[in-house]
Structure 1
Amino acid sequence: MAPKRSKAGPANRPTNRPGLIARAHTTRRALRSAGFRFALDGSGRTAIQAERDEFASNMNKDWLPRNLDGSPRQRPNRNPRGIENPFSHCYINAVLQDFMHTPIFLNWIRTHTRDGTCAENCLKCNIKGLVEDYWGPLPPAQPIGETNDYLVGIKTAAWDTSLFLEAFQDDANNFYEFFLFSDEHGLAAGDSEWKREFDAIFGVEIVPFDTCYECGVERMRTVEPTTGLIIPFPPDMPNSLAGAIHHAFAVEQLKEYHCETPSCHRLRRTKYKGHDGPPQSRRKVLRKAPRVLKIRILIGEDGAQYGNKRFDTLAIDEHLDLGQYQESDSAKAPLTYQLSTVVSHSGESLDAGHYIVSVRNPGDRPYYNISDDDWVEPISRQQFTANPQGNRRTESEQFEVYTLTYIMDEHAPAVERPMKRMLKELL
């Protein structure tokens, strides 16, 4: 079946969740003030991270067995399977393939049981059913059909929100956000234990601190919990994703600032003649880190018209070390991630064109590139981390990396990172 393309989507698009955008350079002064602001436990982590880690330690993170539920029927192999695309649904299929290759999520969603709180068309029930069919005993060469009850149920839940239209393509990130947060029946909804599990898997908490250059007081600002990082292209264009993340966490010179210290209020009337007041800087600290880290590279502008996409690319790192941005003693509590899936896009606008996905796989071939049910083909490690992505069938078409999913490496050795060494020298 040929890929389904669309040149334009509906005018009203869903709003993306706020993310992390910071542009500045790290200064010596900022490093001096970068001491810990939260109590750490003996493991070198904040109490909130330690509690989350303890909670997540009991969650199953293994790949699903080839005989689900101990059934005598066994899957012939662990290769991925395609998902049929009847219209312009490649953006949905790419996101579903992402989740189908996230082991901790697969095990977690299978613990969901239908009860009185489930909607008639329960998103969790449909996702669980899709997992059972995707990793079930049928040969992987047989794709998930477009009429699969669970696939239809997931799509129907999306159409019912009026955020998506069946006959139009959309932004894959919009569907990812819907998947997690669709009203009271989304993946994030549930009882207190379910919400804690969701938070342990996906939740990110980045804490902003503002420092006044006049009085030297540092204040914690409003924390906005998210489910990932949004990474813009900095003006100086670092050549890798790791470099762009470092730039996003760098100290930022604020354009609008109002220090609450009384003496600084007076300075606004005298020294600064009623303008904003003493300059302030902002640094961001990663207080809570997830098991599953989603990163969105801003290759398109939210709400922009057709043709808004930029074609700059960043080198993709298979492993990321975020310990230097964490509020913890990173020498004791390393924070490293391994690349799991890559969703990439070809075309002029993110709500048109075509989406494909590359996945890390538990079978004999560790990496696969998937386009709906058109192809499910093994690729090399170099192709898995390439940007732009491609395939031997699409040599004339390139796919810029858009969203990436990283899985926390829970067995990483403790290392002393460069940032930590710099802090030791300065403090």
Structure 2
Amino acid sequence: MPRSFPLPADPSAPRPVAPAALPGPARRRGLLAAGTVALLLATGCAAPPSGDAHAGPGEPAGTPAAPAPSAGSAGTPSPTATAEAAALRGAVEVLPGDGALEHNPVEPVLVHAGPEPLSGVVLRPAAGGAPVAGELAEGGSRWTSTEGLAFDTAYVLEWTTGTGGGTSTFSTVSAAHEVDVRLNVAEGQVYGTGQVLELRFSEPVVHREAVERAVVVEGGGGHAGAFRWYDERTVRYRPAERWDPHTEVRVRVELLGLDVGHGMIGNADVHRSFTVGAEHYAQVDNRTKTLTAWVDGEVVGTFPVTLGNPDWPSTTGKKVIMEQAPSYLFKASSLDLAPGDPHWYETFWASNVSRLTASGEFVHEALPSAQPVLGTANVSHGCIGMSPEGAEFVHDVFRPGDVVEVLHTGYPQADPDDGYGDWNIPFEHYADESWHGDW
């Protein structure tokens, strides 16, 4: 299964509607906190020793920061208290107020009567449509909406009493203030034990602790987990140990109605479940120039390989298979190589490709010209070249989420966000974004 990347929102798609029930005041962080199919990235093998990235061929928290004051918090009257105070003054009070903008659609609409009880309340979209469900308290003192509202929608609120009535209008969170999230795992798919969960938000996240609390992950062996933020829109989650094989992982991101900062509001919850398959692990040792494969703890094969040459050495460390393809076009131009450069190569279709880094390290079948040196010399541009049967074995048996570890090339690790190098970070340092390893 190819890796999923964020996609722009489809303007023609129906907008999500908030459910009637409000999110709980505190979300339990998952014991284990994590699609649209994406194409393989561009062509090539690995970044040169200078560390310049290039395109290759081809889903423990700190002390939470104090949240922004919410309705009903100290010093801020709740909507109910405000409306009741107005009612005592003899006026009908509505919340949100007349002309209000950017109303969070998960928050209820309230109408409090003055001395004269309410006899009827109707809330409906200004453009027409069915009324929003609501409940009138006994005696007509208060009306509360019991159904979630739509995003980016204008509403008209009308109420009547025994001798009169009134009207007000407001609108909900506009499209410019909506936030969605993309997970890198697809519903019902099978992944390896090293699959790292990545969430990419459409807007910058300020309230990181609130977002982390909104993520609940269950299953996978019950290991403790932690978050690591790679930028203001991207956070990953991994358990302390790799997922237990042959288990199910359930991920919930309770984003609907959540303010992630600067008034940006989550527009939908995201729920995914996936299966962890057999434990596949491969170790590539430059000293012996072999790849040894394990399945559920048993060695199932050893294959000769060629690694990156001295000018284009292979990075070391634990790498996670990101995506696979039976064939893909490799172009020297993706490495900024032109004819006449000593490292230039003819464009070719690589067979049985398994991507290890975003910058272009792969396991794949070596060219016929490299087959004679498998197990004895390094001639690639950073990739792991294999025999036809070896590359086919990795492609057919291994899957996205499986770990391939490279040893003893004398070169540092790939940056952890150049693919999923998260397993190279000791778990006790995982949540510390300032911690730097051998990369």
Same fold (TM over 0.5): no
* Bin for the TM-score computed over the shorter chain: under 0.3
Structure number with the bigger relative contact order (C-alpha 8 A, sep ≥ 6) is: 1
More strand by share: 2
TM-score (norm 1): 0.21
**Structure showing the higher helix proportion among its residues:** 1
Structure with greater Cα Rg: 2
State TM-score, norm by structure 2.
0.21
